[in-house]
């Protein structure tokens, strides 16, 4: 009987982790976490406490959910400034949407 040979050579840990990172679900979650960390660096404690959720869509739009209507209005008024600050850290962001 003949032994079957492997079709590919073993991958290094570095190559393997990069393949895992490239999978859509993991990279999207990591991007969301990195954007949340950036959001926390850009904003103050009051805004951070009222931020419920930060996530990114496939179209590279960042959605930020806040639990205060007056705060949402203030963030909308300063949207361009906040977008520029986020784009400094994450150049792939196209838009910020407050919900």
The answer to whether 32 touches 57, Cβ cutoff 8 Å, is no
The answer to whether 75 touches 66, Cβ cutoff 8 Å, is yes
Contacts of 69 (CB under 8 A, 6+ apart): none
Per-residue pLDDT of 17-47, as tens digits, reads 777 766 666 667 777 888 888 889 998 899 9
The ranges assigned to domains in the chain are: 29-98
At residue 26, φ and ψ (nearest 5 deg) are -70, -45
Residue 21's pLDDT is: 66
Residue 26's pLDDT is: 66
Domain 29-98 has CATH 3.90.550: no
Beta strands in 1-99 (DSSP E): 51-56, 61-66, 95-98
Lowest mean pLDDT among 22-31, 75-84, 85-94: 22-31
The secondary element (H helix, E strand) that includes residue 36 is helix 24-42
Beta pairing partners, 97: 63
Greatest extent of the chain over all pairs of C-alpha atoms, in Å: 75
Per-residue pLDDT of 50-67, as tens digits, reads 999 888 887 888 899 999
pTM of the model: 0.69
Residue 66's pLDDT is: 93
């Amino acid at each position: 009987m003949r032994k079957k040979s492997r079709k590919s050579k073993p991958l290094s840990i570095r190559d393997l982790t990069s393949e895992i990172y490239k999978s859509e679900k993991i990279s999207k979650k990591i991007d969301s976490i990195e954007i949340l960390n950036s959001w926390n660096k850009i904003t103050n404690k009051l805004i951070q406490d009222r931020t419920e959720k930060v996530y990114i869509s496939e179209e590279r739009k960042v959605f930020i959910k806040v639990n205060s209507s007056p705060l949402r209005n203030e963030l909308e008024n300063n949207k361009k400034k906040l977008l520029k600050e986020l784009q400094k850290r994450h150049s792939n962001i196209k838009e910020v949407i407050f919900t």
